[in-house]
Amino acid sequence: MTNSAPLQLPYRQPWHWQQFHSHFALRRLAGVELLEARRYTRSFRLGARSGWLSVRPLDEVAALELTLSPSCADLAPQLAEQVRRMFDLDSDPATIAAHLGRDPQLAALLARAPGLRLPMAFDPFEQAVRAIVGQQVAVKAAVTITGRLVQRLGEPLAETAHGESLWLFPSPAALADDPLEGIGMPGKRVATLRRFAAAVASGDLQLSVADGVETLVERLCALPGIGPWTAEYIALRAFGEADAFPTADLGLLKAPLWGLGGIAPRELAARAEAWRPWRAYAAVYLWHNYASE
């Protein structure tokens, strides 16, 4: 089995590798993801297939280089499209900036960090699990707990990536069937996670925005233990929905932009109406403001 030729995935500038590196560095899931200074690698499932993908920025052209595990070379077109979404390579930063820049306070953030994109998860189920685990806990704690799920229920990937062994994220059925005792979450959140995984495993819940993001949010919120913040965050991170906006997110409410007292959720929601249809990108800038000051 020979390695497939790397693919080049072009993008419109500006696009910043460091933004994505920082995003992954905070959330990297040991065993599933590998992160180097100039490379991101992860395992994946695609239907009944599994393998790994690796991405690195190129210096000579405005493009990312995508390398796939040898067994998945035939999946290159589908994987390239998914990686393009994951790294938000098809957005038009000029159009987004022109719209969001009408808000004077956002305009200042745009000027300081032009061209920020919307990092998106490779796998919607994995991202949804991360969001549920992350309810009311810090990102670092959520990564630790999710890592325990991988250690307990993940499957080893047959192919190594750059000499490293990788694991596949647990399947919906595996999470639904395990009692998840001693995993480090409150009982109610364990029940929420297992109920969600069972709904996905049975096909009762379709993780898709084919019927619109509002429909997905309604379906998610119909499950006990999943509220608007979790549902909107899943829409934003799992599907790259450009107008998803988790209004109750602490980072959005406490961004230094609003001053020492922050901003109330109702006031933020009202203000964000003017940011449609690019509210998710406004969220990216507010999170960046929260993390960097």
Alpha carbon distance 38, 176 (integer Å)? 36
Give the whole-angstrom CA distance, residue 185 versus residue 210. Answer: 32
Q: Does the N-terminal peptide bond of residue 14 adopt cis geometry, omega within 30 degrees of 0?
A: yes
Candidates 74, 90, 211, 249; catalytic one: 249
**Does residue 249 have an active-site annotation?**
yes
237 close to 119: Cβ distance less than 8 angstroms = yes
Alpha helices by DSSP H, listed for 155-274, are 172-177, 187-202, 213-221, 228-239, 250-253, 265-272
Distance, CA of 69 to CA of 128 (rounded, Å): 25
- Residue 187 tokens read as 């009982």
Question: In whole angstroms, what is the distance from residue 275 CA to residue 278 CA?
Answer: 6
Judged by phi (left if over 0) then psi (alpha if -120 to 50, else beta), residue 203 lies in left
Residue carrying structure tokens 């990297």 = 28
Closest among 237, 270, 232, 273 to 249, alpha carbons compared? 232
Contact status, residue 278 vs residue 100, Cβ threshold 8 Å: yes
Active-site annotation, residues = 249
